[in-house]
Amino acid sequence: MDRRTLLKLLSATALVGCAPTQTNSPLNIVVAGAGIIGASIAYHLAKAGARVTVIDKIGPASHASRGTFAWINATWAKQPRSYHTFAQQSLSGWHELQGALSLPVRWGGSLEWFDGAERVERLVAQIAEQAAWGEDARMIGTAELAEMEPNVDFGGAAQVAYSGNDGAVDPVAATNALLAAAIKQGAVVKAPCELIGTDMKDGRLVSVETSMGTLKADRLVLATGADPVAAEKFADTNLPQRTTPGIIAVSKPIPIILNSIVAAPGVHMHQRLDGRMVVGEQEGAPDNEAHAVRMEGRPNDYPERWIAEQHAARMFAVAEQFAPAMADAEVEDVYIGWRPLPLDGHPVIGASPNRPDVYMAVMHSGVTLAPIVGQLAAHELTSGEQAPNLAEYRPGRNFELVKRY
Ligand SMILES: Cc1cc2nc3c(=O)[nH]c(=O)nc-3n(C[C@H](O)[C@H](O)[C@H](O)COP(=O)(O)OP(=O)(O)OC[C@H]3O[C@@H](n4cnc5c(N)ncnc54)[C@H](O)[C@@H]3O)c2cc1C
């Protein structure tokens, strides 16, 4: 995002909530969570001159930001239009970050289609809406598809939705690069280091308790993803989430076979710049009690490697139906990711209504949104101003269940 766009986003802001201290000394800000959201906020905070300490109870990109499909998108699923615009602005932020930090983002658009006439009809209408909103989105037919993706078998699909702005990133590399850039600007990263408590004096935060001791803190940022207790425990706020799991399997590098993100019925895939194929499953997990019991503990890994490989093999076999060259792909990594997913499907960003020094940043589509969230959250935290386009996403709103994902 260029400076003029950012200034426009921040115009007409009001002073509230996380106001800076009255002295000129920089704020001490502890960011709990070193996923892509915490890393982006830390990077932008450090750039803005704050004294930043990032802590993570496991390590950088160890949860959703590892087990993510990492599709940077602002397509038909981003509703309503204000949320769509927000995501598109973050896409510009990705271009900017990619230039500044040499991030491994691969642009090439996305191709998406579904089975069933009714769903296809709906997709056509959704893409028409995107085009009316000025996006590079259109339905394309078989001849153009063959040219764009000669190695993909579209299984006879007559029409496929193309969203030209989309890309994908290696989320672990991007998180690490953001943290490295934050460290260069003076930030400190501590891991494994768990946030345990907060210390208050006269109603203001003075420090936080961690598994590595006490850290001085004027502000605390909760970028704790799908953690089910952090909001209640540290921000005194209810943040209802309907966290759902998804399996991501990554292959060892193979020769480049894909140009875009391919979202086919039942499977999503893209290929990283380094040749690794990333495959995400839409459905297919066993629907039985034993499986349900295992998932209760929200595991990120399978109990044994052979079970992980079995799941990945099943997913690669589905992918192979659309990309035959997947037959040669070998499994490198399999991970169960848990989506941080506020009940209404929209991000939660801003100071807790009950603890003004505790700033929350929890969301799905966090890979897409990391640049804009980092930029706006850092601005709000260091200036005490509120960005108008975050108004819809404040903690403390009424959450109603909306199944967007
Ligand atoms: C299967 C799957 C597919 C997805 N696909 C996409 C996609 O295609 N595009 C997209 O934009 N988004 C996608 N998402 C969502 C996206 O990955 C997440 O929104 C994003 O990674 C969230 O990042 P985060 O930093 O908020 O959370 P996380 O990466 O989960 O990081 C939170 C961190 O907080 C730490 N933590 C928690 N509690 C504490 C504590 N008390 N003290 C210290 N540290 C703590 C954890 O250890 C963790 O590292 C997907 C997610 C999943 C699971």
Per-residue pLDDT reduced to its tens digit, 159-176: 999 999 999 999 999 999
- Specify the ligand 1 atom closest to the Cα of 66: 29
Task: State the Cα–Cα distance between residues 163 and 179, nearest whole angstrom.
Answer: 30
- Work out the average pLDDT over 370-378: 98
pLDDT at 12 > cutoff 50:
no
pLDDT of residue 123: 96
Task: Please enumerate in sequence order all residues whose Cβ is within 8 A of that of 118, keeping only pairs 6 or more positions apart, or say none.
Answer: none
The pair of structure tokens assigned to 306 is 């052979």
pLDDT of residue 15: 39
pTM (predicted TM-score)? 0.94
Task: State the Cα–Cα distance between residues 267 and 349, nearest whole angstrom.
Answer: 31
- Work out the average pLDDT over 255-260: 97
The one-letter amino acid at 85: T
pLDDT of residue 186: 97
**Are 17 and 356 spatial neighbours (Cβ–Cβ below 8 Å)?**
yes
Ligand 1 lined by 62 (C-beta under 6 Å): yes
pLDDT at 135 > cutoff 70:
yes
Task: Provide, rounded to the nearest whole percent, the portion of the chain with pLDDT above 90.
Answer: 83
Ligand 1 lined by 225 (C-beta under 6 Å): yes
For residue 204, give Cα distances in angstroms to 11, 49, 218, 219, 364: 28, 21, 8, 9, 30
**Are 72 and 272 spatial neighbours (Cβ–Cβ below 8 Å)?**
no
How confident is the model over 200-253, as pLDDT tens digits?
A: 999 999 999 999 999 999 999 999 999 999 999 999 999 999 988 899 999 999
| Strands (E) located in 204-304 | 204-210, 213-216, 219-222, 245-251, 261-264, 267-271, 277-281
The pair of structure tokens assigned to 330 is 């070998």
Ligand 1 lined by 368 (C-beta under 6 Å): yes
3-state secondary structure of 17: coil
Which residue shows structure tokens 């929209």?
A: 346
The one-letter amino acid at 315: M
pLDDT at 192 > cutoff 50:
yes
Confidence of residue 303 (pLDDT cuts 50, 70, 90): confident
Test site for ligand 1: of 56, 166, 278, most ligand atoms within 8 A of the Cβ: 56
pLDDT of residue 376: 98
Task: State the Cα–Cα distance between residues 138 and 154, nearest whole angstrom.
Answer: 17
- Work out the average pLDDT over 182-197: 98
Ligand 1 lined by 342 (C-beta under 6 Å): no
- Work out the average pLDDT over 243-269: 95
pLDDT of residue 108: 96
pLDDT of residue 16: 40
pLDDT of residue 403: 74
- Work out the average pLDDT over 149-161: 95
Mean of all residue pLDDT scores within the chain: 92
pLDDT at 14 > cutoff 80:
no
pLDDT of residue 8: 56
For residue 105, give Cα distances in angstroms to 65, 190, 264: 15, 26, 21
How confident is the model over 34-74, as pLDDT tens digits?
A: 999 999 999 999 999 999 999 999 999 999 999 999 999 98
Ligand 1 lined by 366 (C-beta under 6 Å): yes
Task: State the Cα–Cα distance between residues 273 and 174, nearest whole angstrom.
Answer: 13
